[in-house]
Structure 1
Amino acid sequence: MFAALIVLLAACGGPAKKSNSERNLAADISLKLENIAEGLHSPVAATFSPEGLMLVCEQTGQIRVLENNKLIDKPFLNLESKLVKISGAYDERGLLGIALHPDYAINKKFYVYYSAPSTEKGFDHQSVIAEYKVSTDPMLADAASERILLTIQQPESNHNGGDLKFGPDGYLYIGVGDGGGAGDRHGEKGNGQNLNTLLGKILRIDVNTDQSYGIPNDNPFVGKGAKPEIWAYGLRNPWRFSFDKNSRQLFVADVGQNKFEEVNIIEKGGNYGWKIMEASHCFDPEENCKTEGLILPIAEYEHEEGISITGGFVYRGKELTRLTDKYIFADWTGPVFYLEKKGESWIRGTVSLAAKPSGDLKILSFVQDNNAELYVLTNQEVGPKDIKGAVYKLINP
C-alpha cells in the first residue's frame, strides 16, 4: 500500500481549521523483524536501563529483564498481587507503563503505572502511579520501596492510557484515558473536556519533591480552577506517546471510537477535541460541532485500515537510514506506518515487515534503546490470556 488519507495539522487557537483531505504518495519502506525474545505474557511497555538492560512490562504484573537479548527467568519486579483481577481477552487493565528517572544511574528510581482494586465505591478500579528503587542488584528491584505518587479512580475497565515518559524538561508525563465506556459517557460533557478530572488527559508532574509529587509552576491550568496536573486534554485513550529527541515535540497516538485513529503533536494547554470530535470529524454532535480552539490531529486513518492505534517514535537511530526524521507507529492489528513532514503537511507511508511470524501479530508498543534503535512488543493473542508475547527489533531486510 503506497497511499493514505492525510489530515493536515490545524492551527492552535481560534476556529479549528479542517483542511481538505488529500491523497499523498509516500514510498513503501521494507524492513525486517529480528526475533529478540519470546515467551512473554502480553508485553505492553518497556524501557532500557543505562546498562543496556531491557525492562519489559507484562500486562499481568511482572517486569522481566532482557540482558544481551536473553530473557532472564527471575523477574525484575512482580506486581501481580497489587493488580485488580484481570479477565483475559480484551482486558485493558494491568501493568501498563514504566519510566526510569532521568538520574536513574545515580538514584536508581523508576516509575510504574498499574491497575489496582479501587479504594472508593462505584469505580471499576484505580490507576496507580508509583515509584520504586532498584536493589543493590541491578537485575532486581526493591519490592518494599514502593512510594505511591498518584491514584486515579477509573469508572470502567477500559481506556486507561498508561504510558509514562520523562520529558526533556525532567518532568514526568502521564497518559490517562477518558475512563472508558463508549462515547465518553461519564458526565454531561464527558471526561475528556472536563478540566476538573484527570481522565482523558496528558498530565505533567514533578517527582523530585518531598511530597507525593509537585506541580510545575508553568503547567497551563495552575490557579485556574482546574486540575493543575493537566498539560493537555480532550483525549480518548492515548496509547503510547514519545518525545522526539531532536525537536522535543511530544507525539501522542489517540485511539478512536467508531471510525478514526489519530496522531497528535501535543502543545501546552491544548484541547484535542474528544468527545466533540473523533480525529478531525464531528462526533458529539455528529454535525456542526463547535470546533473553536480545538487542535486537530496531524494525521488520521479510517477503520478500514485498522481499529486501534499504537504510538511509536520519530526515528533518530543510525541503522535504518530510510526511517530518519520519520514518525513510526502502527495499528494493534498489525500494519506499521510512518509519517513524514513535507512542508506544512504530513504524508503517511507503509512499512512492510519481513520475517513476521505466522498467525496474527498484535502490535502492543514500540521501544527505543539507548542508541535510538527501535523494538516492537507484540502478542499473538487479543489479551493477556496466554504466553504468546514477543520482542522484535526493526532491522534492515
Structure 2
Amino acid sequence: MKSPSPMYTILIAFLMISIGCVDNEPNDEVSPGNGSYGIVEAFPALEFTRPVDLQHPGDGSDRLFVVEQRGIISVFPNDPGVESATTFLDIAEQVDNAGNEEGLLGLAFHPDYEDNGYFYVNYTTHDSKTRVSRFEVSSDDPDQAVKSTEQVLLSFEQPYGNHNGGQVSFGPDGYLYIAVGDGGSGGDPHDNGQDPTTLLGTILRIDVDSQENGMNYGIPEDNPFAGNEEGYREEIYAYGLRNVWRFSFDPETDRLWAGDVGQNSYEEIDIIKIGENYGWNIMEGKHCFSPGSGCDQSGLELPVWEYGRSEGVSVTGGFVYRGPSLDGLAGQYIYADYASGRIWALDYSDMGNPENTELIETDIRISSFGVDAQNELYICAFEGGNDKIYRLAAE
C-alpha cells in the first residue's frame, strides 16, 4: 500500500474524485465493468475492518481466513450464504497499526498444515519492528489458534512507518518467502534497496523446517548469498525492490509474480527470479529514478510491465488466474491499483510482447487479492468501514 504522506494523500483524493471512485453510496450488487466483467460481494453477510489478506489452509476443509490490519484473523466456510465468521486469532494488542501501512499484514499456512497445525504471520510491533512469527492451531478446535504458541522467526527494525511489505507465502519448493519494503520515507534515503547487507528492500526465502546458527529457521543452500563472506544477508532471495506489498506463485508455471509500489511516476509488475537485482532506487519501473544524473542499468532486472500516474498510484499485486469460472482469464495475471480501483489482466504468454487489458474500473480501494482451494479469485477492499470481500464475475 502507498505511504500516507501528504503529497500522496492529496494525489489519491484527486484521482478518486476525478474518476468517480468516492464512496458516496453503497455499492450495487454488480459494479459496471469495462467489457464483460464486474465485481460482486462474495459473502454478503460478512463485514470486516481493513481486510488485507485472504488465504485458505490447504487442509481440505474449504474454509477461508481473512486478515484484518488491526491484528485479527477470521475464519468462515467458503459459502456465499455464510452468516458469520469466527475469530481465529486476535493479536491486536501486540500489533501496531497506527500507520496506513502498519499492522498485521500477511498470513501463510504451512504446506503440511493439516498435520502440524503451523501457520505464519507478518506484523509490525509497537517498538517499530517487523516480526515474522509462527503460531499453532488448537488441537481441540480447528477454528481457534493458540496465541501462546507464538515463536518469533525474524524480527528487524523499521526506520520509518511505511514500506513494510508484508506478504508471506510458501513457494513450490516448500520454503517461506517474505516481502520486505525498503524501510520507508521516500526515495529510499538510506539506499537499502541496493544494500544486500540489510533485509530491507528484498524478497527473503527461509527454511522453516530447520534451525541453524541459533535461529528458528535455516538458510536454503541455493539462496544467492548463502555462505558469502561479504556480510550480505543470507536470507535474501532477490533485492532492489521498493515495496512489494503483494506477491504470488503461479501454481502451473511456479513463476513468482510481484507488484512493486512506485515512488513518483511508475508502478511495476515483476517476475521475481533468484539472485536478481530489480533496480530500486537506481530505477523506478523501466526508467531512471533520477534521470538528470543518468543511471547504470547493467545487471538489473527490469519489470515485465509498468503503468503511469494516469492509471493509478499504488499497485496491488494479484494472481495468475487458474480458477474454474472465468475461462477468458485463464493463465493471465490479474492485478489492480489501490487508489484508482482499476483491475487489469496481463497476458504474458508471449513474453516478448505482453498484452495488458483493463477489466473493470471499480469504486473500491483494492487492498489485496486471494484465492480459495479451487484457485478462484477474491478481492479484499477498503470502503471506509463495513469493508467487504468481492469476486470477479462475468457479466
Same-fold status (TM-score > 0.5): yes
Q: Which of the numbers 344, 348, 355 marks the counterpart of 1:347?
A: 355
Q: Which of the numbers 328, 334, 337 marks the counterpart of 1:331?
A: 337
Please say if 1:162 is aligned against 2:166. Answer: yes
Name the structure 2 match of 1:84. Answer: 96
The runs of 5 or more residues in structure 2 that have no matched partner are: 1-33
TM-score (norm 2): 0.85
Question: 1:348 is aligned with what amino acid?
Answer: N
1:168 is displaced (CA, Å) by: 0.2
Question: 1:339 is aligned with what amino acid?
Answer: L
Q: Secondary structure of the residue that 2:193 maps to in structure 1?
A: coil
* Aligned mates of 2:68, 2:313 — CA distance in 1: 22
Asked if structure 2 preserves the Cα contact closer than 8 Å seen for 1:276 and 1:285, the reply is: no
1:281 is displaced (CA, Å) by: 0.4
Question: 1:41 is aligned with what amino acid?
Answer: T
1:6-57 superposed Cα distances (whole Å, 9 cap, x missing partner)? xxxxxxxxxxxxxxxxxxxxxx652232212342110001201221111100
Asked if structure 1 preserves the Cα contact closer than 8 Å seen for 2:97 and 2:124, the reply is: no
Q: Which of the numbers 117, 129, 132 marks the counterpart of 2:126?
A: 117
* Aligned mates of 2:303, 2:312 — CA distance in 1: 17
Q: Which has the higher strand share?
A: 1
1:227-266 map, 5 Å:
227-266=233-272
* Aligned mates of 1:166, 1:285 — CA distance in 2: 37
* Aligned mates of 2:150, 2:143 — CA distance in 1: 17
1:396 is displaced (CA, Å) by: 2.0
Name the structure 2 match of 1:395. Answer: 393
1:35-50 map, 5 Å:
35-37=41-43, 38-49=46-57, 50=59
Q: Which of the numbers 108, 112, 117 marks the counterpart of 1:103?
A: 112
Question: 2:96 is aligned with what amino acid?
Answer: V
1:120-269 map, 5 Å:
125-135=128-138, 136-186=140-190, 190-210=191-211, 211-224=215-228, 225=230, 226-269=232-275
Question: 1:86 is aligned with what amino acid?
Answer: A
* Aligned mates of 1:216, 1:77 — CA distance in 2: 30
Change beyond 3 A, Cα 1:145–1:380: same
Q: Which of the numbers 304, 313, 317 marks the counterpart of 1:307?
A: 313
* Aligned mates of 2:176, 2:331 — CA distance in 1: 25
1:377 is displaced (CA, Å) by: 0.3
Change beyond 3 A, Cα 1:29–1:235: farther
1:85 is displaced (CA, Å) by: 5.2
Asked if structure 2 preserves the Cα contact closer than 8 Å seen for 1:44 and 1:364, the reply is: yes
Change beyond 3 A, Cα 1:286–1:296: farther
* Aligned mates of 2:85, 2:347 — CA distance in 1: 40
1:331 is displaced (CA, Å) by: 0.2
1:318 is displaced (CA, Å) by: 1.6
Question: 1:191 is aligned with what amino acid?
Answer: N
Superposition RMSD on alpha carbons, in Å? Answer: 1.5
Change beyond 3 A, Cα 1:287–1:340: farther
Asked if structure 1 preserves the Cα contact closer than 8 Å seen for 2:97 and 2:104, the reply is: no
Asked if structure 2 preserves the Cα contact closer than 8 Å seen for 1:232 and 1:270, the reply is: yes
Percent of pairs with identical residues: 44
Name the structure 2 match of 1:8. Answer: none
The runs of 5 or more residues in structure 1 that have no matched partner are: 1-27, 119-124, 382-386
Q: Secondary structure of the residue that 1:106 maps to in structure 2?
A: helix
Name the structure 1 match of 2:69. Answer: 59
Question: 2:116 is aligned with what amino acid?
Answer: N
